[in-house]
């Protein structure tokens, strides 16, 4: 038969072992959660970086498109002015020829 002191020592040892097991389990769970959080942050960081890159690319594409439109408009205006000058020149010729005929 064990003495009361031995029983108390055994009970304390078991309590400490259970506490150690619980602490280890909690530590492992905390580590897992940290790892999950870190992975999520990395994924979100990558996603954010990709979104930024795509946003920048869309902005560049839009600016290129606007530049192209401006250039096209400029060329169109130049052609329009050229046509107007040619029409005006033709009218003048016609008037001059009419005046000569008279």
Section 41-45 average pLDDT: 92
* Alpha carbons 31 and 37: distance in angstroms, whole number: 10
Give me the pLDDT at residue 21, please. Answer: 94
Q: Which two tokens stand for residue 69?
A: 């439109």
Q: Which of 94, 74, 75 is nearest to 86 (CA)?
A: 94
Please tell me the distance from the alpha carbon of residue 61 to that of residue 90, in angstroms, as a whole number.
43
Place of tokens 């439109």: 69
Is the entire prediction scored with pTM above 0.85?
no
pLDDT digits (tens, 9 = 90+) for 44-88: 999 999 999 999 999 999 999 999 999 999 999 999 999 999 999
Question: Would you state the structure tokens that stand for residue 20, as one six-digit string?
Answer: 């150690």
């Amino acid at each position: 038969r064990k003495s009361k002191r031995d029983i108390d020592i055994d009970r304390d040892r078991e309590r400490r072992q259970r506490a150690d097991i619980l602490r280890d389990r909690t530590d492992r769970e905390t580590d897992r959660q940290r790892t999950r959080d870190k992975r999520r942050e990395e994924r979100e960081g990558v996603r954010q970086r990709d979104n930024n890159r795509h946003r920048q690319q869309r902005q560049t594409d839009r600016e290129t498109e606007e530049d192209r439109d401006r250039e096209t408009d400029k060329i169109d205006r130049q052609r329009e002015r050229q046509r107007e000058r040619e029409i005006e020149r033709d009218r003048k010729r016609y008037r001059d020829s009419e005046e000569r005929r008279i």
